[in-house]
Structure 1
């Protein structure tokens, strides 16, 4: 049986390609790379040697909770920058938190309304002021749905070796 071996790219639909491209290049620090000669607005960005982000402009609707998780190399300044921009969104998944594995988790909206989860890498030293900020809350998100289906573990992590 065939097995999926990785994610090559994530494609996000945006409402304004230029505005979204500026956000991902300047705020997220992604490198612009050439895209194919499509007949619609698109921009490609490089995370690393094997993973890309593709932006494409369409008049679509956006998911409220669906998101892409991006590991940031230095989460402390990005937290304060996202707060300054006013784009930390606590509505779908609650406040900024530290997950059981020790990484910071926050959700932000790009200029088109796409939800991004920004996370710190394993072992990252967090700015203690973030843990005192009004946007921070201890513990994992609790929805109140009390529906425990799925694959779960007390040892769950975003990182796998």
Structure 2
């Protein structure tokens, strides 16, 4: 049995929740009508997404296909102060989904960083940091991918932010 370092000395906060949507327009309408969400700009990830403001947090909708038995990518996201320590702890646990886009750390056009990992029950979690310029990117090896270099970003996409200014 491998020994892992003790708990990180930081407090994580919820950033957003992402849920699957069979019909994106219907789901967006539901959350707008029922919860008063408002649509936000979202980056182009190469697949349909819809970001919504839910109070001071966000709700992300992801289009799902009709294929049963396929691993899901619904997740919750937290923001952390020490992104590097969280990366190292996930790496030590083998929590990255190797061989998929979720094994990479993503530098968004906004300068924010995100990484994804699986918990022991195979739930996907996202960990976010507001400013990649404050990180030593060499600590992440070749895992960093730049979304803006992989997917074309319109002006609306470039307005997307994971971290909202409280209303």
TM-score, normalization: structure 1?
A: 0.50
**Relative contact order: is structure 1 or structure 2 higher (C-alpha 8 Å, sep ≥ 6)?**
2
Greater helix share, 1 or 2? 2
Greater strand content: 2
| TM-score for the superposition, normalised by structure 2 | 0.48
